[in-house]
Amino acid sequence: MLLDYLPDNARQRIADYIVLLRLDRPIGTLLLLWPTWWALWLAAGGLPDLGNFVVFTLGVFMMRAAGCAINDFADRKLDRYVKRTQDRPLTTGRIRAWEAVALFFGLCLTSFLMVVFFTNTLTLYLSFGGLVLAFIYPFMKRYTHLPQLFLAAAFSWAIPMAWAAQAGELSQLAWLLFTANVLWTVVYDTFYAMVDRDDDLKIGIKSTAILFGDADRLMIGILQAMVILVLLLVGRQAGLGTFYHLGLVAMTCLFVYHQHLARYRDRDGCFRAFLNNNWAGFAVFAGLFLELLINPVA
């Protein structure tokens, strides 16, 4: 491996950057990627343009990495008190704060230039909203018990952007899909927040896991049901058939499984429930892909 030929300090620096940008943990990228692909395929009524596919797939990877950098910058003085994050390179000082900020703006600028040169004016205008959301959501846990909602908006903003790039306009269907993904993101990020709830209570960090309290699984269940309902409305409005609905059945079964995993509210079970949401997103995409492959929408 190429890294083996580098000096020890260089290898350590690269390893720290990989951790900062979560390149070693692609789960966040996948959770962001599936709904972006939902939007591209639905807006196209089948296979999207290759250019849009490349731009938004690369954009997902870059903006997720950018979000991780600015998140760790925002939490650099708090992460040392949380068991899961106390060894992150920014909070331990192995990476400096200005480096994380520089990476954030560099990755955002690269993504922005791809939008400028390879998409349309509407997508360009929408990209400014995405940039604002990406910057502010890491700070919301200090001011509101709904930081998951701001993360959900940031994670879902690729949907109207991808739709606008592919279709040249925004329809009611695009916003229905956006709504479904906002609800779903709050679901899985609440599972994620349940992992850190004990530590967050000690240091005064807010989250939906703390807001919901003992009703956390009930509230997640209600949100899960709303996700399925809105995605059913998407399918009805788009005229989607059997394969898409089989994808929703698979997502529903996985949601039940997630409730089972988190039944004791222990860290490991909640974290496994969070991770497994990747398969829920994939199930919907697989159903949508097969549906539009066999029955493309004119």
pLDDT of residue 81: 79
Instruction: Provide the pLDDT for residue 4.
Output: 63
Q: Running along the chain, 298 residues long, what does each successive block of 10 average in pLDDT?
A: 66 87 92 98 96 97 93 86 83 90 94 94 95 91 93 96 97 97 98 94 92 97 98 97 97 98 96 98 98 86
- CATH class held by domain 15-293: mainly alpha
Note the pLDDT of residue 76. 87
CA 199 from centre of chain: 23
> What φ, ψ does residue 24 adopt, rounded to 5°?
-85, -5
Q: What is the DSSP string of 190-239?
A: HHHHHHSHHHHHHHT---HHHHHGGGHHHHHHHHHHHHHHHHHHHHHHHT
The answer for residues whose C-beta is within 8 angstroms of residue 256's C-beta and 6 or more apart is none
Match 């609440």 to its residue by tokens: 190
What's this model's pTM, rounded to 2 decimal places?
0.94
CB 244 within 8 A of CB 288: yes
CA distances from 85 to 11, 151, 207, 259 (A): 21, 18, 16, 25
pLDDT of amino acid 272? 98
Q: What is the pLDDT of residue 283?
A: 98
The helix/strand count (H/E) of the chain reads as: 13, 0
Cα–chain center distance at 55: 17
Indicate the domain borders of the chain.
15-293
Please tell me the predicted confidence (pLDDT) of residue 175: 98
SS3 assignment, position 89: coil
